Every structure is written in structure tokens, then in C-alpha cells.
Amino acid sequence: MSALPAGTPPQKLACDPPFRHGHVGSFLRPKAVHDARAAFAKGDITAAELRSVEDAEIKTHVQQLLDHGIRDITDGEFRREYFHLDFLKHLEGVTITKNTLEQKEGRVPPTLSVTGKIRHPKDSIEVRNFEYLKSLVPADKHGQIKITIPSPTMCHFRGGRAAISTEAYPDLEDFFSDLAAAYRHEIDALYAAGCRYVQLDDTNLAYLTDDAMRRGAQERGEDLDKLPHDYARLINASLASKPRDMCAAIHLCKGNFRSQFFAQGSEQGYNPIAQVLFQNLNVDAFFLEWENERSGKDFSALRHLPDTKTVVLGLVSSKLAQLEDKQTLIDKINDAAQFVPLGTRQLAISPQCGFSSTVHGNEITHDDQFRKLALCADVAEAVWGAK
């Protein structure tokens, strides 16, 4: 095992947060939330009553995070049905259309289209949720509150040009500009409320490592050499007003629905997008899937990582209940350290995705989630001496 030498003075991560062991953000929804959501859908309770149930369950959840020494504090995304749509639906100009199969079985997510000019709504989307979280944790832990929002690329990739009104946006550059402005508005509001840790959840850059997904994008008319650069510009423009003392992370995922995935990494792993990802994106940290060869074949892409940024290695599966072998995880970190030395304090560990990116949840139990997070903490302590 490669660990830091005894007596090594504690050093700050390249960005603090993220922490040596963390999580992506979502957790299985408690039964009370499922029941309240169903009652609300039938019209039996009001939106205020639903929120009251969510508040109570989030309070219990946050206390569990604190009791388990988990430093990333999120609301578990208990208020969301889908990790992306429940945020994006608030943007003016975005229309969400439910699919028949989605309504019956939850198998096909609703469809997003851009039917008008993109504008940020009058009220902030996540500030109220942040302020509630802030009320639940001690003041010295407010900086550990992480707000997760979908990457702005989620408004483009799946439908492409065909899903964006040509009347509203004859020129796609104007669409990207308005979308970035709406994101800046939200991030500015979060910062003003005291939020210092925001994470963008992005499937689309990850999908560009999958051969089938790449072919599909090409068939929609996308230029695969240009698209990653366009997305980097969009994300950077969305974060352009972020002050230096706010940590911006991005999480890449190849799909996470009821323990299923939607994309596979190619033989090249992250290398098709690595240079753009690590060197062009103006973020502080990357949460990346690396729990098996499907998600990332090897760690060679890390050779592109600048020494000012942190990679949180998603080595633990959030999809499977079986607990990983601790020594195997340590060995994987040592493999990654061939490209990013341990002493640089640029590496951390987490599950590869959330435990419940949609309300349906992965095929695991409530206790499985915390066993996985405890394992991440044990590995971090073994490798870096981190608590």
C-alpha cells in the first residue's frame, strides 16, 4: 500500500472541498417521501404539505450524514424526481413533455425541448433549498453544503438542434449565450445566499466516450471534434461569474437508473475527451466514474490533469449492494497515482454516481449507501490518513 509518509504535515486539497472521501449527491428517497409524492400527484395534499414532508426527511438525512462523519452535505435530492429535469423545468423557454411509458413504468424519462427564449425565472431555483440545509448544520460546516445542479449541456445533447426552436433560436450561439446567462444568475444567487460548493452533473461529456453514443450524435449532425469544445465553452460561460472562494465541481456519468447504465466507455476510456475535460474546463474538481472497465478502462487520461485540480475517483459502485474489497480500491488509487502522485493531494475517493439519480432509486438498501460511504472513508484513512 502506498500511503503518505508518517509525519507528513496535513495539506489542503487542491480544492477544499472536495474532501478525501465524498459522494455525488443523491440518496434513496425515504418511504414517507414516496408516499407524499404519490398523494400530491393525486391531489390529496398541497405542494406546501409535500414540502413539509420533504423537510422532515431531509432533516433526518442530514443528521445521518453528520453522525457518520460525511463531510459533503446534500439534501439527497429528496425534492427531485429526476436529477436534471426538476431544475431545468424552472427555466423559461424549457418545456418538459411526459412520455407514456414514463408515466406508466418510469422507464422512459420525459422529453426536454426548448420552445422559447431561455431566461432565468424571477425567483432562484435552489436558494430556498440551500437555506434550509444551512439551517440544519452547524455554522462551521456551512462550507460543506453541496448544491447539485444539472450541467447546462443537458439542454442540448439528447435532442440537439431538432429540440431547440428555430424561431426562438435561428442561431444556436444565441441559445448557448442565454443558457449560460441563466446559469450565472442562479450561481450568483446561490453565492449571495452563502453557498460555496456547487456541482454540475453531466452525462453528455461522458457519453462522448461511448462509440454508439458518438455515432448517434454524429447522425444528429454534431461535429464530434467540435462538440466537446462547445460544451466546455458553455460550461465555462455558465461559471464565469463564480467567485474564487466558491468550489465548482463537475460529475460525469454514463447513466444511472435503477442500477442500470446507458453508455459504455470505449477502449480509450476517458481519453477521447480528456484533454478538453481537464485542461479546458474552468472547474476545481471532477467526480468521475472509474468503478470498472465499463466506466473507465484505465487512469491514463489523468496525465492531462493540471496540478491545480482535484479528481475524485468514483471507485465504489452505487449500483450494486455488494461491498468492494478494500485492498482492491487501494490498489486502484495506487494505479491512478502513477499519473497523479499521492503527495500532490489531488486525488480523493467516492462512489461512482449517486444512489438515486431519479426518484426510482438503485437496487440497493438505505444501509447499503452508508456502508459504501464508510468504505470510502476507511480507504481514505488507509491511503492518506484522512478522517
CATH of domain 71-384: 3.20.20.210
CA end-to-end span of the chain? 18
Determine contact, residues 347/336, Cβ cutoff 8 Å: yes
Domain spans of the chain?
71-384
pLDDT at 160: 84
pLDDT given at position 294:
62
Under a CB-based contact definition with an 8 Å cutoff, are residues 57 and 120 in contact?
Answer: no
The reported pLDDT for the residue numbered 107 is 59
pTM of the shown model: 0.91
215, 208, 308, 187: which is closest to 253 by C-alpha?
208
Residue 115 near residue 168, CB atoms below 8 Å: yes
CA angle 279, 194, 358 (to 5 degrees): 65
Low-confidence ranges of the chain (pLDDT < 70): 1-15, 100-107, 255-268, 292-297, 387
| Cell numbers at 299, concatenated | 487512469
Closest CA to 59 of 135, 140, 142: 135
Specify the pLDDT at position 106.
53
Helix, strand and coil in the chain, % to nearest 5: 40, 15, 45
All three cell numbers of 275:
484533454
pLDDT in tens, 275-306: 999 999 999 999 999 976 666 668 999 999 99
> Cell numbers at residue 211, please?
462509440
* pLDDT at 362 (0 to 100): 82
How many residues are listed for the chain in this entry?
387
Give me the pLDDT at residue 378, please. Answer: 97
